[in-house]
Structure 1
Amino acid sequence: MPAPTPATPPPIADSDLAFLSRWTGEKDLGVLRAHAEDNWRDMVGCATHIYRCMRRATYLSPRIARYPVYEEMLAAKAEGKRFMEVGCAFGTDVRKVVADGWPAENILAVDITDNYWKLGLSLFQDASTPPPVHTFFGDITDDPSTSSRPDIITFLDAGTHFIYAGAVLHVLSEAGVRAMLTKLYAVLAPGGVLFGLSVGVSEPESGSDVTPPVPWLMVSTTTNVPSPSPATTTPTRVPRVLHCSSSLTRLATSIGFASVKVKTFNIPREVEERVMGQTTEEETAERRALKERFGVERLYLGFEMRK
Structure 2
Amino acid sequence: MGESSHNGTSNANAGEAPDRGGWAELDERLYKLDDADVQFLLDATGLETPAELKEHILGIQAEAYAVHPYPCIRGFTFAQLKISQFPVYGELLRLGRDRPGALFLDVGCGSGIDVRKAVADGFPVGQVVATDLHAAFWEIGHRLCKSTPETFPVKFLAGDVLDPAHLRAPPGGAPDSPAPPLSVPALASLTPLRARLSAIFVYAVFHVFAEDDQERLAVRLASLLSAQPGSMMFGAQCGMPAKGTRVETMSPSAPPRPIFCHSPASWAALWTAVFGVGRVEVKAELRELPPDVIGFQPAAGLPYWYMYWSVIRL
Greater RCO, 1 or 2 (C-alpha within 8 Å, sep 6+): 2
Per the alignment, residue 227 of structure 1 pairs with none
Per the alignment, residue 234 of structure 1 pairs with none
Q: Normalised by the size of structure 1, how large is the TM-score?
A: 0.75
Post-superposition CA distance 1:256-286 (Å, at most 9, x none): 15224343324264xx64xx15x54xx22xx
Report the CA distance between 1:154 and its aligned residue.
Answer: 7.1
Per the alignment, residue 162 of structure 2 pairs with 141
Native 8 Å contact 1:108 1:135 kept in 2? yes
Per the alignment, residue 114 of structure 1 pairs with 135
User: Does structure 1 residue 199 correspond to structure 2 residue 230?
Assistant: no
Q: Aligned AA for 1:214?
A: T
Q: 1:5 aligns with which of 21, 25, 28?
A: 25
Native 8 Å contact 2:107 2:132 kept in 1? yes
Aligned counterparts, 1:71-220, within 5 A: 71-78=90-97, 79=99, 80-127=101-148, 129=150, 131-143=152-164, 150-151=186-187, 152-153=189-190, 156-157=193-194, 159-190=196-227, 191=229, 192-203=231-242, 212-214=243-245, 216=247
1:102 is paired with a residue whose SS is coil
Post-superposition CA distance 1:108-137 (Å, at most 9, x none): 101112122121111111136352111111
Post-superposition CA distance 1:91-121 (Å, at most 9, x none): 0001111111211221110111212212111
Q: Normalised by the size of structure 2, how large is the TM-score?
A: 0.74
**Unpaired runs of at least 5, structure 1:** 204-211, 219-237, 292-296
Native 8 Å contact 1:252 1:260 kept in 2? no
Per the alignment, residue 54 of structure 1 pairs with 73
Aligned residues: CA RMSD: 2.9
Using a 3 Å threshold, how does the CA distance of structure 1 residues 71 and 145 change in structure 2: closer, same or farther? closer
User: Does structure 1 residue 42 correspond to structure 2 residue 73?
Assistant: no
Per the alignment, residue 288 of structure 1 pairs with 300
User: Does structure 1 residue 256 correspond to structure 2 residue 314?
Assistant: no
CA distance in 2, matches of 1:37, 1:25: 17
Per the alignment, residue 45 of structure 2 pairs with 24
CA distance in 1, matches of 2:304, 2:59: 33
User: Does structure 1 residue 244 correspond to structure 2 residue 263?
Assistant: yes
Per the alignment, residue 301 of structure 1 pairs with 307
Using a 3 Å threshold, how does the CA distance of structure 1 residues 131 and 213 change in structure 2: closer, same or farther? farther
1:26 is paired with a residue whose SS is coil
Native 8 Å contact 2:264 2:286 kept in 1? no
Report the CA distance between 1:172 and its aligned residue.
Answer: 1.5
Using a 3 Å threshold, how does the CA distance of structure 1 residues 99 and 43 change in structure 2: closer, same or farther? same
CA distance in 1, matches of 2:239, 2:270: 14
2:134 is paired with a residue whose SS is coil
Using a 3 Å threshold, how does the CA distance of structure 1 residues 14 and 266 change in structure 2: closer, same or farther? closer
Instruction: Decide which structure has greater helix share.
Output: 1
Q: Aligned AA for 2:107?
A: V
CA distance in 2, matches of 1:178, 1:93: 25
